[in-house]
Amino acid sequence: MDTGRIEDLAAKLAGILPPGLRGLGSELQDNFRALLRANLDKWDLVSRERFDTQAELLVRTQKKLAALEKRVRQLEQRQGSQSES
């Protein structure tokens, strides 16, 4: 997650504080920001673009695998029928 999004999220969290805590807004926003960074760094997150690219690659690979499996079956059947002759 990029820094701008973390800043936006921290600001939104600080903005929804109850009126009695708004005086602590900047301090809490700093804490929210630190907490978000610390926890988001622990997760193995990827961008949507990278995820979509990997998903497309997986689909292509699965199609190639299916075609190769079909070809192997055909070759095995052909070899089996030749050995019976």
Residue 67: domain span: 47-85
Q: Does residue 26 sit in the same domain as residue 52?
A: no
Name the DSSP class of 48: H
> How many domains does the chain fold into?
2
Average pLDDT, the chain: 84
Same domain? For 30 and 66 the reply is: no
**Is residue 61 located within the same domain as residue 82?**
yes
**pLDDT for position 3:** 72
**pLDDT tens digits along 14-53:** 777 777 776 777 787 888 888 888 877 777 778 889 999 9
Same domain? For 33 and 12 the reply is: yes
Pick the more confident residue, 79 or 63: 63
Instruction: Give the residue from 64, 3, 14 showing the smallest Cα distance to 37.
Output: 3
User: Taking the model in full, what pTM does it have?
Assistant: 0.52
Neighbours of 14 (CB within 10 A): 20
Same domain, 56 and 39: no
Query: Do 1 and 34 fall into the same domain?
Result: yes
- pLDDT of 85: 63
